[in-house]
Copies of this chain bind each other. A is one copy, B any other.
Amino acid sequence: MARFDGRAFNALRPIKFERQINRYAEGSCRVTWGNTIVLCTASVEEKVPPFLRGAGTGWVTAEYSMLPRATKTRTVREITKGKPNSRSSEISRLIGRSLRAATDLTNLGERTITIDCDVLQADGGTRTASISAGFVALFDAFRFLTKEKYLTKIPLVNQVAAVSVGKVKSEIILDLCYEEDSTAEADANFVMTGKGEFVEFQGTGEGGTINYTDMASMIELAQVGTAEILKMQRECLCLTENEAKLFV
């Protein structure tokens, strides 16, 4: 089966991570993932949410949002509608959990790192792009905290990246673009660590259901895809020898 953009079933779209694209944020990364573009910033604030006050531990959270014309037709802003978009809230929560899994919260100190993921252009896979680029921004914020002596060592516990897989015209494929996503019989997102373990997985049968064989193929493809993305993250981060050890 030929894919919409001619890729092999197990091929990612062209992905480019660019760091330090915001002069104020403690970490930042813009990712261009096919036609999807997401701008991630990591902001360090010396405060924690009420439920953590006095606990001596830190927090990582995320906010995902789309610019009005990230989409084919203009989307009304959340503030104009007067209520949060529930899809965006759900994705924000997913990104937050995924990046907390990357972080040694206990050794972060009583501070919060907020990862803002603003989608400038959407063409499928915005949540996996946000997680993958969010990790890069987060790591630069870790570097800021150690360089500025807030922390003595980088509070990393897992390298984290994400990818989508789906079933389109009965075939299991990697990294769906919008046209594929909108006609998929099923699709799933996998967030995986550098060690090949699962952090988050979410799948849905849309106009179809998923059997065991499909599930196995999805898991396999997800591993293939995240392995490539994890490598790109490491390259883009220009790891020092010491840092590299944290990624093993």
Contacts and interface: CB of A to CB of B under 8 A. Distances in A.
Q: How large is the interface on A (under 10, 10 to 19, 20 to 34, 35 or more residues)?
A: 35 or more
Contacts of A200: 203-205
Contacts of A84: 79, 83-84, 86
Contact of A101 (B82, B209, B219): B209
A215 B193 CA distance: 15
A69 B28 CA distance: 10
A116 B23 contact: no
Per DSSP, are chain A's interface residues mostly helix, strand or loop, or mixed? mixed
Interface in A116-159: 116, 118, 120-121, 158
A67 interface: yes
A168 interface: no
Nearest to A69: B41
Interface in A66-103: 67-74, 77-80, 82-84, 86-87, 89-90, 92-93, 97, 101
5 contacts: A68-B114, A74-B114, A77-B79, A197-B209, A200-B203
